[in-house]
Structure 1
């Protein structure tokens, strides 16, 4: 599969090893290095702060896209779900959006870890299954616990 941005081996390995118990994984495309390269964004979340979707939304840049892989337990559900959020804010530049969208299928494939197939989501500890890919364009209106839960129930 063709890709637009380079994905270093360490980023590939991190995506493949992600499990539901891991802290959220946030990636972006670094355009400053000459060749567009996918990097892990470790500066978004404060390790001392308790994680929530709302905290994540308020910490994300409003002018740059991100790929977000996280574990989320919808209200009233017995099991957590791994979700992949395609963060494309309305204020990002066209070039950044095109690089991001062009690399999205490769990032999603790496995160899915296609070596393992599951019959049902209740075997969540056996392997990683992304339950849904969500696209979010605006933090204030689109990235809240309630909206994520509603999208997962569809």
Structure 2
């Protein structure tokens, strides 16, 4: 399979560790970007117990990111679960060449991260809210 962007083994290890971390409260996130000159993916930062609104403020307005999110979902029947969600952060204000590169590597990142729930966010921080994520996750059932 041909690919445009490499995913280094250290990032694969970090994704695996994030995926299998035990959580019992709050949402955690891992932010990954593409280093355009090197054509590799790099971890930008990890957040533990971060609100969705704070996460939205941490993400750049003019650059795409892949965000792995372990999300604290409160169900209507009182149960709590922590689904793993991938946020495809691709604001429309991004440079077109970055968006194209980001889109070309999306499926490979999704497969490497081994996540099936995807939430697209194209309208910046206004599109990344707790209400929007709750609606998308509860609507999938």
Interval containing the TM-score (normalised by the shorter chain): 0.7 to 0.9
- 1:118 aligned residue: none
Do residues 24 (structure 1) and 29 (structure 2) align?
A: yes
- Tell me the CA shift for residue 131 of structure 1: 5.1
Question: Partner of 1:145 in structure 2?
Answer: 130
Tell me the residue number matched to 1:106: 108
Structure with greater proportional strand content: 2
Compute the TM-score of the two structures, normalised by the length of structure 1. 0.76
Q: Deviations over 1:102-130 (max 9, x none)?
A: 11111111111xxxxxxxxxxxxxxxxx3
Deviation of 1:12 after TM superposition, in Å, equals 1.7
Q: Which residue of 2 aligns with 1:39?
A: 42
CA 1:35–1:131: 2 relative to 1, 3 Å: closer
Q: 1:131 to 1:106 in 2, by over 3 A?
A: closer
Aligned residue number for residue 75 of structure 1: 74
1:2, distance to aligned residue in structure 2 (A): 2.1
SS of equivalent residue, structure 1 residue 69: strand
Q: Which runs of 5+ in 1 are unaligned?
A: 113-129
Q: Tell me, what secondary structure is at the counterpart of 2:74?
A: coil
Please name the residue that 1:53 is paired with: 52
Q: CA RMSD in A?
A: 1.9
Distance 1:88-1:79 versus aligned 2 partners, 3 A rule: same
Aligned length: 131
**Structure with greater contact order relative to length (CA < 8 Å, sep ≥ 6):** 1
- 1:91 to partner: Cα distance: 0.8
Q: Compute the displacement of 1:89 (Å).
A: 0.7
